[in-house]
Structure formats: C-alpha cells, structure tokens
Amino acid sequence: MKLDVKKLFGGSNRLLWPITLIIATILGTINYIQGYFHFQQSNVEFPFFQMFLSSFLGFYLFLAFIPVIQWGRRHYDPFLKIKFLLWHIIIALIIATLHLVLVTFLNQVIIVYRPGAFYSSLIFTLKQKLILGLMAYSILLILDYFLEYRQRLIKQEEVIFYQRKQSSKILVKDKGKLIKLLTSEIIFCEAFDNYVKIHMPDQVHTIRKTLKQLLVELEHTGFVQIHRSFILNTRQVKTIKPLKSGDSEIELNDGRRLKMSRTYRKNMPALLASSG
C-alpha cells in the first residue's frame, strides 16, 4: 500500500493549518501571561524558558495531529448521522488522549523532570483536561469538514461556469433566418454602424444589432471588448504585443491580428489569463 503523503498532509485543504497555528499562538500567549502573573503573586522566580515550553508546546501539538484529523474526516459520512457522530467522538477521543499523553511527557520528562511521577501526572491530566481536549478536536474535525466542503463547492462552481462558457449558445438572425451559434466557436465580432459581423471559423454572419447589445448577450462567456469596433473571444488569443502608442496588437489562433485600444486596457488581465 503506497502512502500518499500529499493527501495525508491536507491535500487541497490547507486552510486548517494557518487557522490552527493562529489559535494555538493566541491560547499559548494567554496561558503564558496567566502563568507569569501567577508566579508574580506567589513571589516565586518566574521560569521563563520552562514556562514558554509548557505554554506553547501543548497548543502547538494541535498542528502535529492535523493529518490525523483530516484522515478521520475523510473516513466518515456526515449524512449518516448516527455513524458520523460515533466515528467523530471516537476519532476526537483518541487524538485528545494522545495529545494529553504527549503534553504530560513534555512537562514531566523535558520541562520538570520528576522520576516516577509520569503515570500519576497523566491520570490527573486526563481527568482535568480530557473533556476539553475532546471538545477542541471535535471542533477541529467539524471545521476541517466545512473548509473542505467549501472548497468542493468552489470547484463545482468553477466547473459549471467553464461548462457554460463552452456550451452556451446565442440566437441570431442572419438574412431572415434564425441561427444558433455556439459561443465557443465565435472568433470575434466586428461592428459596422448598427450591424455586427460575427466571425466564425468557416463563415461570417451579419446581424442587425449594436456591439454593445451583443456584448450583453455574450457576458460571462469569455468575451471582452478590445476596441470600440471589436469584441474578442479570449480563447482565440495567441499572443499580445504592446505598441509604443499604448495600444496592443493581438494575434489570434488563426493568424489574424486585431488592435486593442488603450481605452480597453482594463480588459488586459482576461486576455493574459487566456493566452498564458
């Protein structure tokens, strides 16, 4: 069985890492400040280094368990309510227990070495903090699920938008006939007063309509205006060459060249994205 390291450490959903880091840093800082004032009231010398490790390492351990959280999230179905709840509790309980074992080890062996006190300290820690740990990891599991769900929705919207761009059609009237044109096959549209010439790979359709009216119909289908007389399908862009005048020369996939007026340079990002 091959281990997919990229998938194990978050796959496409990496938002949980910075969110957890920020929360852990805030909680560690609060814990450190509380410890400082506690030592000040007791007139005991404040152990800066030991308190720093004790305050922050425990919270930063949440980062170490993120791969386990994401593995757990991928192995339950949120729509099976009973099974989801049981699996959620089991995963959170296991991770919280491991977390507290490591925290106790760090406190007892590395920070304050006390031989033979590990197990008694572990039992005390589990009694005091296991419920809090269970709640914390349950929240992280739910947060990770919703972040992943959000990314899936974004990807679905992108796919739907792309499919619409590829398959959308417009209805035009040319020489008394109504014709359906696939927008992805339109190369560019050229204005002549109140008429527009729609340039296709094998023919040109002339319709009685203004360029502005046609641009409204072609909105969100990958067309931008590059000149007062031209609307261009961004998928047809091959190269863009800036000119000294501030205008640009656009070479199309079929070898033809169109001029982009500097008035419409605001549409340059769309053209650059399509020609990359």
pLDDT in tens, 106-149: 777 666 656 667 777 778 778 877 887 878 877 877 777 777 77
Q: List where CATH 2.40.50.1020 sits in the chain.
A: 168-275
DSSP 240: E
Q: Say what the pLDDT of residue 163 is.
A: 53
Q: pTM of the entire structure?
A: 0.44
Q: Say what the pLDDT of residue 250 is.
A: 92
Q: Say what the pLDDT of residue 9 is.
A: 42
Quick one: pLDDT band at residue 188, thresholds 50, 70, 90?
very high
At 15-65, the pLDDT tens digits run 777 887 888 888 778 877 877 777 777 776 767 777 777 777 777 777 777
From 152-166, 170-184, 196-210, the region with the lowest mean pLDDT: 152-166
Q: Say what the pLDDT of residue 47 is.
A: 72
The architecture that CATH gives domain 168-275 is Beta Barrel (2.40)
At 206-263, the pLDDT tens digits run 999 888 888 888 877 788 899 999 999 988 888 888 888 889 999 999 899 999 998 8
Q: Is residue 166's pLDDT more than 90? A: no
Segment (H or E) for 234: none
Of residues 88 and 3, more confidence is placed in 88
Opening angle at CA 68, ends 67 and 72, nearest 5 = 120
Q: Alpha carbon of 236 to those of 233, 246, 263: distances in Å?
A: 6, 22, 21
Give the SS3 label for residue 258: strand
